[in-house]
Structure 1
Amino acid sequence: MPDTLIVTRPLAQAGELAQRLREAGRDVVVFPLLDIQPLPDPTALRAVLARLTDFALVAFVSPNAIDATFAQLSAWPVTLPLAVMGEGSRRALARHGVSAPHYQISSPHDTERTDSQTLLLALDLERLRGRRVLILRGESGRELLADALRAAGVVVEQVAAYRRSVVPLDAARAQQLGTLLATPHGWIITSSQALQGLLESAAHVDPLQGVAKLQQQHFYVPHRRIAETALACGLQHIHLTDAGDDGLLTALQSRP
């Protein structure tokens, strides 16, 4: 495995993982590919939070959705169940004072597979049939969870809590990316959108060789969907890890 690891998470979420990697003896570069921003107009989010009692369950798609929601909310109703994808979201809830056993929080039983499909297996869909479920997410996202809930007879409402965009490629970032592409490194990619942004940036920095240089890099991804995106883009050195920081660190430690 390359000595240097590139952490590409949004800046606010990159620090903890970078520190753990450094403690494990790795050289780390933080190079965020996505930027998480508040909504320019949170009116719709505030309106739905004002009627949380309308819902039988609220599902958060990510820690970003949790942080953005609680920025608009003073406290969570104790009787309102929540659902999250993984341990990162459980920790985000805990930072806001929401944790078991005081609150009912559903999440995938298999902590090594944390996505919409495994979350569905953890939900009591029969209890939710005919009732309302709120999904809080970014401005864009996959529809799998919402579609599956609707297919089970659940009334679904989705509301954006934050905005996610590719970090602009200014002169300083372009120079840094060019340097990183010059030799093989290990890139930790946790989003298909981030991967697409990296490909576009590499092609912009080096129109002739940028993508070819990316094909010499190693990519560590926590989800099969991201791995499939990488393969479809012609990337070759793809390592699928378990979900979460622990799964990533275990995979990295098992490689020379």
Structure 2
Amino acid sequence: MPDRVLLTRPGARGEVLARALGEAGYATAALDVLRFEPVALSDSARTSLLDLDLFQGIIVVSPQAATCLAEAIASYWPQLPLGLRFYAIGRATAHTLYAELGVPAVIPTRANGEDSEGLLEVASLKVVAGKRLLLARGESGRELLEERLRERGAEVEAVSLYRRRYHPPSPPMRTWLENGDFAALVVTSGEILQHLVTWCGPVALNQPLIVSSPRLATLAETLGFGSPHVASGASPAALSAEVRAVLDPRGAIFDQGDHEKGKRR
């Protein structure tokens, strides 16, 4: 069985993951099934950006959203308003916000996970009644954050900054998926997982699937994947470590609590 690891994360973050796995001795191939496209701001989005200094919190759901938000803010604010509080869904998003805007961001704890569910556990987002929050995201993203924050009494204004475009895998990668001709598949997005399952044959569905959260593992099992393994996070280091643990368990040292989770690590 080939030792190639198939990657689905697009852009620079995918390249970082590929380098991390390459340094660990694994051959990688990028499936390149997802690309981001900017979208024109709606009238309501422009109004929200002009009112940026009136928000009690700015929530950013991905590194792509952080990059697009920084570009949009620069069009309306020569200098970033003081006192803004930013929230990021994970460390990569927080790093992008700091690189683009020079601002720190509140992130979920490692224990709660780098996803919408984890961010909703942040203490200051549990008491938001009457607060005005801006949600920077892509089109057709998950609605959980907006729904839960509204239920908690916040006034949430969602701003769509980009869209995702999905493409079929190109040859020979389509054949690899059809035949299960790879050692492991790494996926960090539910939408990508749902897109890829249509190309996966029976063998591929039972090859190791490395995902970044228990939510994705549950989705994977629902879609028919038989061997999901949960990394400790969505960072390149966490994903690379899980690939090594799964493909070369002799060289891995497990925490007993994690090891007992088996496939759902």
- Superposition deviation, residue 221 in structure 1: 0.3
Alpha-carbon distance change, 239 to 61 in structure 1, aligned in 2, over 3 angstroms: same
- Superposition deviation, residue 112 in structure 1: 6.5
Give the Cα–Cα distance (whole angstroms) in 2 for the partners of residues 141 and 93 of structure 1. 19
The secondary structure found in structure 1 opposite 2:68 is helix
Give the Cα–Cα distance (whole angstroms) in 1 for the partners of residues 164 and 19 of structure 2. 24
Q: How many residues align?
A: 240
Aligned partner letter, 1:252: V
Hey, what does 1:245 align to over in structure 2? Answer: 236
Hey, what does 1:121 align to over in structure 2? Answer: 121
1:15-34 alignment to 2 at 5 Å?
15-34=15-34
Aligned partner letter, 1:226: L
Give the Cα–Cα distance (whole angstroms) in 1 for the partners of residues 111 and 90 of structure 2. 7
Alpha-carbon distance change, 249 to 78 in structure 1, aligned in 2, over 3 angstroms: farther
1:197-216 alignment to 2 at 5 Å?
197-200=195-198, 202=199, 210-216=200-206
The secondary structure found in structure 2 opposite 1:96 is helix
Gaps of 5+ in 2: 249-265
Gaps of 5+ in 1: 203-209
- Normalised to the residue count of structure 1, the TM-score between the two structures is 0.85
Alpha-carbon distance change, 125 to 247 in structure 1, aligned in 2, over 3 angstroms: same
Give the Cα–Cα distance (whole angstroms) in 2 for the partners of residues 125 and 28 of structure 1. 39
- Contact map agreement 2:213 2:230 (CA 8 A) in 1: yes
Alpha-carbon distance change, 110 to 175 in structure 1, aligned in 2, over 3 angstroms: closer
- Contact map agreement 1:60 1:66 (CA 8 A) in 2: yes
- Superposition deviation, residue 77 in structure 1: 2.3
Hey, what does 1:153 align to over in structure 2? Answer: 153
The secondary structure found in structure 1 opposite 2:209 is strand
Hey, what does 1:206 align to over in structure 2? Answer: none
1:13-162 alignment to 2 at 5 Å?
13-39=13-39, 41-44=40-43, 45-74=45-74, 75-100=79-104, 105-110=105-110, 113-125=113-125, 128-162=128-162
Shifted more, 74-83 versus 173-182: the winner is 173-182
Once the two structures are aligned, what percentage of the paired residues are identical? 29
The secondary structure found in structure 2 opposite 1:72 is helix
- Normalised to the residue count of structure 2, the TM-score between the two structures is 0.82
Hey, what does 1:187 align to over in structure 2? Answer: 185
Alpha-carbon distance change, 232 to 78 in structure 1, aligned in 2, over 3 angstroms: same
- Superposition deviation, residue 109 in structure 1: 2.3
CA RMSD of aligned residues (A): 2.2
Deviation per CA, 1:39-90: give whole Å up to 9, x if none: 1x22444332121022110100111111111122225323110001111111
Aligned partner letter, 2:17: L
Give the Cα–Cα distance (whole angstroms) in 2 for the partners of residues 114 and 32 of structure 1. 23
- Contact map agreement 1:184 1:218 (CA 8 A) in 2: no
Deviation per CA, 1:212-240: give whole Å up to 9, x if none: 24224321000122212211111112111
Alpha-carbon distance change, 80 to 99 in structure 1, aligned in 2, over 3 angstroms: closer
- Contact map agreement 2:120 2:126 (CA 8 A) in 1: no
Deviation per CA, 1:105-147: give whole Å up to 9, x if none: 2111226711222212224247632121111111112222112
- Superposition deviation, residue 252 in structure 1: 2.2
- Superposition deviation, residue 2 in structure 1: 6.5
Hey, what does 2:256 align to over in structure 1? Answer: none
The secondary structure found in structure 2 opposite 1:140 is coil
Alpha-carbon distance change, 35 to 199 in structure 1, aligned in 2, over 3 angstroms: same
